[in-house]
Structure 1
């Protein structure tokens, strides 16, 4: 959504300062692999006090599986309520990884071919100014190399609270634009590709995308706090911090309840930091995809000169301490999430309760992720 399922979008992919709540973690000398709580806590506190996010939540898992939760700020600017530990948040573009997993499972079942044209599954649907679904493959949709225009920045963010979008409404917005570059030429982030991926899932399975994500991913992993909101559901079900958006005057407005349909297969889901850590960890451990499809997911192309690389629904990012981590990240009005997992089992997810207008704030958030995984 202009939603940002990320405006700085995947490429690395503000407000009154709120008092920080103390973290729930405590130092544990027996677990040196766990980041020292004060380092993560200090990072969250700085995001609140210096960068003006109303609240920040983090869940960190060490190599041995030990977990620490942290919070800073307040859940409600009006009441000063405490931030719920591991509360639910809207996860924006992290939804793309769930969608990609379902598509790749269908590939493993022989029902979808990654290198088949989109027209194989959605004949005649993808046509526009230089846009032709006969020339774009399923792989290119998932890897952001399709050249399709991104509908996100073309939708008025302020209208998202109440408007319901059908997936084909989102396509209509995108297909009024020109093809951005030749399919396969380079990386170019586009949520439009994931709307098409969701429609392919529905065409091939004959079932709603939300049902397939729940049946194939959420329930098998026991992600008890993760779901794809039903049509018309504008709420967040479980304890959660409120999400805020800056209005044109620069004031924070409560944007917790909204219609998330502009995200759909690209950004509609709700989860918690712990559930996201579990999802990405189980995915990278091979518990959701056959080896061949996991290898395809982890085959990457460069994301410009950022040092990042794009797989199929997942990004590889370098760590300051050496090595890499895998994850996605997501923005939707009210919430921004960043995090990922390493090959040796470390995991972190951090959420803040506004999408910062200044990308440098997002960089600092990503810096806390790096600290949590490196220390």
Structure 2
């Protein structure tokens, strides 16, 4: 099966999100380390080498990486066209933020992970074999619902690979995307005794809608009030339908069959499955806070870390061959023992890779953009995993 036709992320719609270009990027591919002794980043030769390896695996991609350990912070990048403090659309890494909101609501007794979708959104998930009374909140967060992924619908694919200007300022509400997904039968019916999972963005549209009902605020506001503000994530925000990135950022263009398209400014990814903008520094802070108990009580963090390994997504398995998926959190083993927690994001010209050790003492965040080709995500993820492995195992 083609590694360029994945289902489950925005970038899976004809792979148009696979070809982001930083206009001012240096084409040489030489890694540039943050000067040692600078107030916000040091130097790691291993990180430099791994950044070059990610670029080579992706094919002319530009890479920005940041690690945090007991020794401090190190940064590396492949070209000056990517600002050191670049903001980027995190795509599906947003799901971890939304999962934290839902789990906080569960900790407060406002909802239960065993509540059904029908309980919160009566009558919404019905037809073509879909049944919201058999799908729980936990199923949504863990992708064990079996619901069809709306980004794989032909209408979505056509919109993204056609005249992008028609949808650049998209404001389609989540409910309409859910309705589109429900035109299709489910991939499977949830089996809570022997769960299996298949990645579907539709799950997090529904999770966001349930969070809004249970929390009394929009999912965006809850991410801001419950996560961004308490952690002081000054460069993280949820733009909604505002297409602009106000801080430093790389320009993003994509080569499509219809020509070169500028994806720097758009509102296509404005829903709960993909709507958070952040930086490598803020993502490191977020994932460390999550694993050290600053965001969730022990019981809810333990629920988040209960993983399912059996998958009905062969393309995902090819890209992430080891580990399992929890509640908005993925686990991958480390060569030095144990494993790390993370969530990837593949969007319209923006690739995010993250990682944090179980004790929260080491973190890594990577932003990747490409120069027009369509990266093989199996190779790209392999190189990104090696970067994370070196960073989190302390090779510097």
TM-score by length of 2: 0.82
Q: Give the conservation status (yes or no) of the 8 Å contact 1:48–1:73.
A: no
CA deviations on 1:243-292 (whole Å, 9 max, x unpaired) are 2323127x76431111134x511101100011011101100111101111
User: 1-side partners of 2:60 and 2:176: how far apart?
Assistant: 32
The question of 1:235 aligning with 2:253 is answered: no
The question of 1:68 aligning with 2:70 is answered: no
CA deviations on 1:139-158 (whole Å, 9 max, x unpaired) are 00001100111112222233
* Residue number in structure 1 paired with 2:33: 24
> What secondary structure does 1:183 align onto?
coil
The question of 1:358 aligning with 2:363 is answered: no
* Residue number in structure 1 paired with 2:88: 89
> Relative to 1, partners in 2 of residues 1:67 and 1:190: Cα closer, same or farther, differing over 3 Å?
same
* Residue number in structure 2 paired with 1:347: 363
* Residue number in structure 2 paired with 1:172: 179
* Residue number in structure 1 paired with 2:264: 256
Q: Give the conservation status (yes or no) of the 8 Å contact 2:53–2:383.
A: no
> What secondary structure does 2:341 align onto?
strand
TM-score by length of 1: 0.87
CA deviations on 1:65-95 (whole Å, 9 max, x unpaired) are 61011111352xxxxxxx2113111100111
**Structure 1 residues 196-205 or 347-356, which shifts more?**
347-356
Q: Give the conservation status (yes or no) of the 8 Å contact 1:18–1:52.
A: no
For structure 1, list consecutive stretches of 5 or more residues without a partner in the other structure. Answer: 9-13, 29-33, 76-82
CA deviations on 1:295-340 (whole Å, 9 max, x unpaired) are 1111111154622211111011111232100010101111101121
Name the Cα RMSD after superposition: 2.6
Q: Give the conservation status (yes or no) of the 8 Å contact 2:101–2:223.
A: yes
User: 2-side partners of 1:207 and 1:253: how far apart?
Assistant: 35
User: 1-side partners of 2:127 and 2:251: how far apart?
Assistant: 39
> What secondary structure does 1:341 align onto?
strand
Q: Give the conservation status (yes or no) of the 8 Å contact 1:302–1:308.
A: yes
User: 2-side partners of 1:268 and 1:319: how far apart?
Assistant: 29
> Relative to 1, partners in 2 of residues 1:65 and 1:130: Cα closer, same or farther, differing over 3 Å?
farther
* Residue number in structure 2 paired with 1:101: 100
Match of 1:212 among 212, 219, 222: 222
* Residue number in structure 1 paired with 2:286: 279
User: 2-side partners of 1:312 and 1:114: how far apart?
Assistant: 10
> What secondary structure does 2:95 align onto?
helix
User: 2-side partners of 1:349 and 1:246: how far apart?
Assistant: 26
Q: Give the conservation status (yes or no) of the 8 Å contact 2:228–2:237.
A: yes
Q: Give the conservation status (yes or no) of the 8 Å contact 1:218–1:226.
A: yes
CA deviations on 1:222-263 (whole Å, 9 max, x unpaired) are 0100010032x11111001122323127x76431111134x5
User: 2-side partners of 1:339 and 1:214: how far apart?
Assistant: 20
> Relative to 1, partners in 2 of residues 1:132 and 1:218: Cα closer, same or farther, differing over 3 Å?
same
* Residue number in structure 2 paired with 1:370: 389
* Matched residues, number: 354
> What secondary structure does 1:260 align onto?
coil
For structure 2, list consecutive stretches of 5 or more residues without a partner in the other structure. Answer: 1-5, 14-18, 312-316
